[in-house]
Structure 1
């Protein structure tokens, strides 16, 4: 979110078209630029006519002999302008003073976010995270949909809440992935508490926990120092291929057609997140599957 008075002036200059080309380019790279643009687009769509105050005042004086009813009608005509202006002010006010910070990533993107206490959150592709910056000291809580790696500064309880469960720590490094029926937590430093409908687990460094649909929850140990996706490699350990295909789609903006394919087939392996051809060849050759790619490179069709 933009900050205080200086940023209010910056927004005002943007709305009035006074930003330099360099300032405009910098502003367009801001994570919340699209939301401001949508608000202004909505205001422009109202198609208001220009209002000439002096002209309207003169006209009003010339009609001073009209009846009270006629005068009231001329006043009523001003209300659409007032109502629209008030609506825009309310919308901007709610948006600008909303204490929640929200960050998201697109296909194949990663985003590093410094939280208010100096903790770090790195989002993987197609992920969304938000938190209440106003009450961060009292409530260090992040809501996550997707995957993120956290480096948490020591302090009060830090919680990552997802649709599939919660992860709580005091200070540590850990990774959380929660999408649809997929829930996985790996601890790289310190200790984390993982709680969902099925279980409550304590993970120390080098331990992981996973809960998938129709599969018994499982725990395992590992000896790596950080999740592989931070170095542009997606890794999988004994996991149904439907989750591997989902990761391919999110990293490369693809649609994989899987007609008559057993999506519960178990896969262990990796693929690069920065080379689509190598990624597809690696996964499907490992599985012994033939495939073809559409002309627009957006669709992968698996062959029996």
Structure 2
């Protein structure tokens, strides 16, 4: 019984931060139709920025609770600086071009951002310890967990519900959905497609950076973390269905439980279990579990 509970909780914790990152990835694809290979780099930059800002807050001897504010500020700063810059100066030039070209462009961007991160923060690991002890330990039956790990689950729920509510219950969300459904008709109705693209990409960067910022206290922030994140994030959106928010949530949960089960039962198959689940879904549902609605063209 304890083993089952451990698998479920560990899977939920892993799925939570992964869902935040995958949510940004699937949003960018849904609106801009771009498979963004560089999304993992936004995650890594968010983690590095969080380490730097938390270190600054600590040096100024702010209360430890302000370290959580520092994590959020790091994600916002990355989104505000990186999102508009890349969308305006680079990606906008390739809209409407072949999908393979867009993948190559974002892959090149990924390589560039990896080197830029090394130039700014170096190659030595960073550790963000202050936020991790804020919530103490939590007892779940005979198991004990760090409260911060469980708080990440709450952050993921807030992000998921917030994005869903924003898209389905606000005027701005309806505009974004119109662009997702058919950008040509949306443009003919007077919607500023360029502005929607900019906002969606910037918010997608924010979600990736947010995932990195709030994961930073749980890991060693060092070069290479972006590679593993983007691979697993793609597994999530492929399982759930590209462009589907609900699919991203289910996909993250499936990946989290698969990984957790492998870690506790057969550790050598940790990564293999994720790819096995992805392959099984693609065999029976090539479009993913939740296929995005596509406008019928006459």
**Pairwise TM-score range, normalised by the shorter structure:** under 0.3
TM-score (norm 1): 0.20
* Bigger helix fraction: 2
Larger radius of gyration: 1
TM-score (norm 2): 0.21
